[in-house]
Structure 1
Amino acid sequence: MPINDIQPFQLSVADSVLDDLRQRLMRTRLPDEPPLAPWSTGTSVAYLKQLLDYWREGFDWRTQEAKLNAIRQFTVPLAGINLHFIHEKGKGPDPMPLLLSHGWPGSVMEFYKVIPMLTDPARFGGDPADAFTVVAPSLPGYVFSFKAGQKRFGIEEIAEVFASLMTDVLGYSRFGAQGGDWGAFLTSRLGFAFPEILIGIHLNLLAVRRDQKMMADPTPEEKAFLEQLNHFLKEETGYQWIQGTKPTTLAFALTDSPAGLAAWLVEKFRTWTDCDGDPETALTRDEMLTNITLYWITGAIGSSFWPYYARMHGPWPIPKGQTIDVPMGYVEFPKEILRPPRSVAERMYTDIRRWTAMHKGGHFAALEQPEALVEEIRTFFRHLR
């Protein structure tokens, strides 16, 4: 693909879009608080009211926009869409290309803390030999990689797009990959489908499935995991079912109401972080609202549901009985959604080189524990350079 197909990208949201957002926030109708503990039935009404007030009166979008624009971003026509991606060159003797993949309800803004540490380790007291050149695409259908009416992509198709971005567009013959949430599924799929171009994969969520051995004769660790999984399936998968079966119905509400969008996303920021009940001990208000605002200004929340729909109506991204044989590293954060034991992971990932359990952190590791995540990525890939 000709290099001139790549276009620089700068974010500039029209004042009229921000004015419309504030007007909608002023007209918010809140539900009543159920007669149970706050957050027990979903987002706390009292908390959301405070967050919406701050979004309307205190949140400075232009500051966050400038912060995002300080990162080198581009777009390129690929697979029938205009794909957005970050491309930050590493500062070291031989930077390794590293693909970072985000998930839902995330965006590339999750990586604003880790990108400088990965690309310029010496600036943070590290070894320049550990430098990476970072490529972080917006998933097709997510924020900047979305345009109304474009085709939809499941995990398998997104992995093909990302492999083409790295090799055909950017010219990297081999690269490392890292991801959490859907990014972990994508990274795992890349390791399965394109092992010849993957130096290794690093995950902070495991894309494993239940198997008969674990169900029939579980070890104590597997039994604990099954109990964890059963609780998750009963209490925490409502979002998956609606996003995976009737995504458009939900998209009407969240595309029209910023309060509804914020409520839907902030509940995940609380439930999936290591926050002891207060999401602002794990993520700042500005971090949460920057991510929410990105979904709002792009109108991409409905299309971001598509991997759930594709997953629920198609096969598991790693075919049953198949394995991922490229070198793999994993870091487990204690408040991750699910934490399968190593015995389960080894049935899918045959070459686990590093397995680390952290004492603090949750699902949004790049925001919650950026230093710990970066150190794990550096250490894992150091022996594969």
Structure 2
Amino acid sequence: MERTIYDADHESFRESVREFLAREVEPHLEKYEQNHGLDREFWRAAGAQGFLGLEIPEQYGGQLEPGAGDYRFNAVLTEELARVNMALASCVGIHADIVAPYLVHLTTEEQRERWLPPYATGELLGAIGMTEPSVGSDLANLRTTAVQDGDSWVINGSKTFITNGFSADLVVVAARTSPEKKAKGISLFGVETANPGFALGRKLDKVGQDESDTAEMSFTDLRVSNDDLIGPLDTGFVSMMQFLPQERLNCAVANLAHARQILDETIQYAKEREAFGQPIGRFQNTQFLLAELVTKADVTQAFIDQCVTAHAAGRLTPVDAAKAKWWSSQVQNEILDHCVQVHGGYGYMNEYRVARAWRDARVTKIWAGSNEIMKMLIGRDLGL
């Protein structure tokens, strides 16, 4: 199916991303998997190519020209990363696509000058601290607190399942500053991980996405100043809701690109793998199955492309972002489960990409708000 939302500039950018991945990333995938994380050399190399600065204005070292923001470049980058693996798209997405808008749109000039230049180069690695051990998707009830003490804030609490958490230098932390206000009493802070009182747990042992660095973190009487408050006091929940649609669209773009790559590889496998004297792709069951999967992928692509176009124009609604997130993760998992089946026993072997992709995809129905939460948002919009 021909896609019409990208022009020559976007496709030229896509080629530069592909060349970078082939040269700088794919030779090191085994190392990333063994280390359960991307090394700083990767981040510096990505920063040197400008891939970490798509949301950052040129005056702070980014790629964003005045008045020229175009989310379609973000989507192209995400697609190409996800075609390599989901962990890569997740880690880079958190830094460049999800945390960066907080640092650009909610910060003071002093904060932007302090954080954004090293952020664009990969010298300052970012993460976001929303999820807590006992809260999950219920962000309005988070328990981490920040109590004012003169010109400082004292933060206590913990976060979990934090992508880039083990190697991050700066974490945007959501903390409760006015407990009596409930959701309206949450604020955001830029917490530099070198601060006394910041502690990391172990790298979490996940079912999939071995290349991704995911950690628990805790704050014990950690002090930050008023200069580290991101955005107005007690507006953190509103800000998180404001930026979640882009995060969920990022997830949707990655979900489908990942699934389509493995589906393409599975179609090729069906042409080459023989059973009972002929390629398995010639069996009617396999033909019908692959026809269904390709059609489902194409239909899903049309909706996601529509959402990308809407977001680039500033028109994407939170409800459409929720639809894209839950549907794409569902479709991704369905496609990859069938791809494993087509590969037979080989599909269950970790040495085959399809097996690793199948494991990597499962969490996409949980993170960025579980699919059940997405359906609740859609249902509420229906007046239910």
Q: TM-score scaled to structure 2, two decimals?
A: 0.23
Tell me which structure has the larger Cα radius of gyration.
2
Q: TM-score scaled to structure 1, two decimals?
A: 0.23
* Higher helix residue share: 2
